[in-house]
Structure 1
Amino acid sequence: MRLLRLSSIVALALTIPAIAHADQEGDRLREALRSATAQARAAEDQRAALQAKLTAAEQERERLRKQNEAFRAQVKEAEQAYRQAVKDFNERLTERDDSLEKWKVAYGEAAGVARAKDAERAKFEAEATAFKASTKACEAKNIQLARTANEVVTKYEAMDPFEKVLDHDPVFGLKRVEHQNAAQDYRDKILEQKAKP
């Protein structure tokens, strides 16, 4: 019994450190398990946070993709509007240039007509001035002619019948030469007053 006791004691002594060692090993394993569980939870939390960030990033990327498509559509519309505006502007420029060219031609024609009319006006004014001067000269000559005619008539009326007979008598013709000289003087005066165009 003693042996049994001793063997029990030895066994117990051997089992106590083994039990103590087993308790220590269990504590260490429990601690390792707790640590692994904590790490697993932390990793799971981190994975969940990263998953949330990934989801948020994907949503942000989708939002930015849609925004990018909208901007591209706006840019495309703006480019089309710009091209149309440039086309319209160029058409208006072409129309303006055509209109301007027509106005230039019309202005040139009007200026030519105005110059021709101005030349005609100057010519007619010169002719009118010449005609006025000519008319004044004719009027002056007509006054002289009327005086000469009046003088002839007055001299003829002043002749008495006897002088008339003597002037026209072919036999005597005493005053005939005098009468012919006076007639020639009056003819010369009349011819001097002839209007020359």
Structure 2
Amino acid sequence: MSENALHAKFQQFPEVVREKVDAALSDAKIALKLRAAEILADKEEMAEHAVTTAGRIGAKSGEVSELTTILPLKPNGAERLRKFFGLVGGNLAGAGQVGTLHNMRFVFLDNDTKLLFATAFDGEWDPYIDDFATKIPEFMDYLFSNVEGWPGITSPDVKDFIVKYQIPAEAWFVAHPNLTVAEGHRLKRQEAAVQRFLSDLN
């Protein structure tokens, strides 16, 4: 599509939308402005993916929240963690016991002096941290004992410690914001049951 055609299409959006886009993206190309206008004008899409707060800290979209921390590692902390991650082949499947956990990842930064820990989960921030303490405390304490100042997952100070190092997301997108982990498991079981039924018919 030509520049003129893009400009013409952009002008078709309500003035309030165009003004918002121009104010935020004054130096952007018209193709990006047009895409931004399309997003803003799609009220249903915007409502479904609205970003709110996860409670104490962090962003939330629908039922899914995010947590990102950058933590200082103890000397040799990265080495100890690498041994553990190597032992399990980088597979942290045991964390699924938490029940609300969509994903988690560990990344070493700054020559192994810092650890990025990021995760997505269902619900509010405080209950999520409580789940770590009640469902996988040994796992959490082994991993995070390599972090400077870690108070222990059952410590009354652990939430303040996490908040100290958490960096809230400035933007957050979830493809299926209202699909919880529990609902995903339920749908998976239903699909398996349907497939078994169809297989038995044959």
Question: TM tier, shorter chain?
Answer: under 0.3
Higher relative contact order structure (alpha carbons within 8 Å, sequence separation ≥ 6): 2
Q: TM-score, normalised by structure 2?
A: 0.20
Q: TM-score, normalised by structure 1?
A: 0.20
| Higher helix content, 1 or 2 | 1
Which of structures 1 and 2 has the bigger CA Rg?
1
| Higher strand content, 1 or 2 | 2
